[in-house]
Amino acid sequence: MRYDAGIAAALQARKLIEESQKAQSLHVEWITPALADKAWQYLEKYADHNFSFTDCTSFAVCETLRLKEAFCFDLHFSVAGLSVVPAAAGG
């Protein structure tokens, strides 16, 4: 967001995230060493794909929390076996 929309938008997003957490309408899952290890395993498993480490940490969180859907805008999540909401248009 910082690169696409600028620092002001990124800081505003942070404020909205913090307010949503306080209101208990949003849960943020922080990456632990165990989740980072799982992310590296995903990165290795899907070495033939152009996944970022951030993608792989998201896959690890979804696996750990037993989530089946991901709200995202790319097909990487469907490659990792998740349903994508909304349906992604491109990779």
pLDDT at position 89, please?
53
Higher pLDDT, 83 or 39: 39
Tokens of 45: 């498993």
pLDDT in tens, 18-74: 999 999 999 999 999 999 999 999 999 999 999 999 999 999 999 999 999 888 877
Residue positions counted in the chain = 91
Distance of CA 65 to the CA centre of its chain: 13
Distance of CA 56 to the CA centre of its chain: 8
Asked if 44 contacts 70 with a C-beta cutoff of 8 angstroms, the reply is no
